Amino acid sequence: MHPLDLSEADGSEVGRLVDDAVAVGRPVVVPTSGFSGPPKQVLLSMRALTASAGATLNALGGDGQWVAALNPERIGGLQVYVRSSLAGVAPVTVAADSSFGVASFAVAVAAMRDDMPHYVALVPTQVHRLLAETAGREALARFDRVLIGGAPLPEPVALALDETGIAWSHTYGMTETAGGCLYDGVPLPGVQVRVEAGAAVGRLLISGPMLAEGYHHDPVATTETFITEAGRRWFRTSDLGRYDHDRGRWQVLGRADDVITTGGHKVHPDDVVSALSALEGVMDAAVVGVPDPQWGERVVALLVPSAPGPPDAARAEPTTWARSRLGATLPRHALPTRVRWADAVPRLLSGKVDTAGVRAAFTQEGERI
């Protein structure tokens, strides 16, 4: 077993390394994003990687050409090359910039072949940047499907995608599942999902041929996270979820350790984020709990304004403004006790919210971060 060393490789070299690994069935080690601590080294068999890639292509309707816009050292970017290898079509790689650029993305899109479907995988932050410029919206419109994963998708971004007629799917998965395994809340072919026994809302468990072998050189973590019941192997995620019977799909509620306990009540941050994101003048939001001696934790929220910006009342008294508008949507214990405006929500490279960074924003002076 050897890990794929992609740190010094350009796009063409990554493609060759992946093609070689697929040809010989060589397992690889892929690090997690390090969202909740040091990255774990996940051991993925080529069977798991190709099972995930095949399920994705099945869900999309067949082979096509991909634009590679994500870091290939992480599972989202690596899977673009595995899917391309299975299809036998080299992806077009976005030129490496210090930060994701609309111009370089548009150049890559212009280089795609015209004789097959076009696909791309992005994180919400990238989509937000592309939608903000005409060239970015035109580039996104060329794809038969845009896969968006790595983090929750803000409601205003989803609405903007729909308004422009762009075909997209929000994906859920992680390194341990070799990439996305739920598309728009629906399991891919071969994937089974459930919550812990006896719970309507509980920790999500996932089963299927795309599960990792475990954590490289960490048998204790492997045994704790990958369990076998009635002959079926399951991955116990760190996320809470529930099945929406009315819509016929799974709803991911966020990480179990992000649940805010305030005055004995449990608050799921994603529920509050969805309500905040639906308010006029809000482009993005992040919600965390901060310690409180009386209530255990308090719910606080960081908001990013949309153009042309929030109403004057929202700027002057954001907490009062938000609470007055959320009272009919959320229970009283879930209403943010403090709201602040920011230029952007702190995020990790994976696109996930940097919860530590959000909490730090509430230790700074002033209402503008």
Highest mean pLDDT among 61-70, 94-103, 195-204, 356-365: 61-70
For 11-250, give the CATH class.
alpha beta
What is the C-alpha to C-alpha distance for residues 210 and 282, in angstroms, rounded to an integer? Answer: 37
Check whether 42 has a pLDDT greater than 80.
yes
Strand order in the sheet with 282-292: 282-292, 296-305, 338-341
What is the C-alpha to C-alpha distance for residues 328 and 210, in angstroms, rounded to an integer? Answer: 42
Say whether 336 sits in a helix, a strand or coil.
coil
Question: How many angstroms from the chain centroid is the CA of residue 65?
Answer: 22
Question: What's the mean per-residue pLDDT of the chain?
Answer: 88
Domain boundaries defined on the chain: 11-250, 259-361
**Cβ(43)–Cβ(216) below 8 Å:** yes
Check whether 23 has a pLDDT greater than 80.
no
pLDDT value of position 367: 39
* CATH number among 3.40.190.10, 3.30.420.10, 3.30.300.30, 1.10.3720.10, domain 259-361: 3.30.300.30
Check whether 5 has a pLDDT greater than 60.
no
Mean pLDDT of 186-212: 91
Q: What is the DSSP letter of 27?
A: -
pLDDT value of position 368: 40
**Cβ(263)–Cβ(296) below 8 Å:** yes
The closest alpha carbon to 279, from 252, 304, 254, 260, belongs to 304
Please, which pLDDT band fits residue 93 given cuts at 50, 70 and 90? Answer: very high
HEC per residue, 133-202: CHHHHHHHCCCCEEEECCCCCCHHHHHHHHHHCCCEEEEEEEHHHCEEEEECCEECCCCEEEECCCCCEE
